[in-house]
């Protein structure tokens, strides 16, 4: 996956603002949208990293949701108790 430039992130930013799920993401997206209205504004390196992640999540979904979490299956011990496998 190629790394998006700031201009590409900002091109899709209105969709990112609508798709933002958590309160923090919504606030960050709204602040970036407001700052981006100023023609001289450029995101900091840290802001750009987060913008790229949010834009990528718009296109590819949240990678964390693709990871299944395995839970240990209880196994009976000889004394009738349980222990994790």
In tens digits, the chain (85 residues) has pLDDT values of: 567 899 999 999 999 999 988 889 999 999 999 999 999 999 999 999 999 999 999 888 765 443 444 556 666 666 655 555 5
Domain that includes residue 11, residue range: 6-60
Give me the number of domains the chain comprises: 1
On whether residue 24 sits in a domain, the answer given is yes
On whether residue 82 sits in a domain, the answer given is no
**CA–CA distance, 74 with 71 (Å, rounded to integer):** 9
Contact call for residues 52 and 1 (beta carbons, < 8 A): no
**CA–CA distance, 61 with 70 (Å, rounded to integer):** 21
On whether residue 81 sits in a domain, the answer given is no
**CA–CA distance, 67 with 64 (Å, rounded to integer):** 6
On whether residue 65 sits in a domain, the answer given is no
On whether residue 19 sits in a domain, the answer given is yes
On whether residue 17 sits in a domain, the answer given is yes
């Amino acid at each position: 996956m190629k790394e998006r430039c700031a201009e590409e992130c900002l091109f899709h930013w209105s969709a990112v603002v609508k798709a933002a799920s958590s309160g923090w993401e919504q606030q960050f997206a709204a602040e970036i949208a407001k700052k981006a209205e100023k023609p001289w504004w450029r995101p900091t390196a840290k802001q750009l990293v987060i913008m790229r992640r949010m834009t990528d999540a718009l296109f590819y979904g949240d990678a964390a949701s693709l990871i299944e979490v395995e839970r240990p299956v209880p196994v009976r011990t000889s004394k009738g108790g349980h222990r994790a496998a």
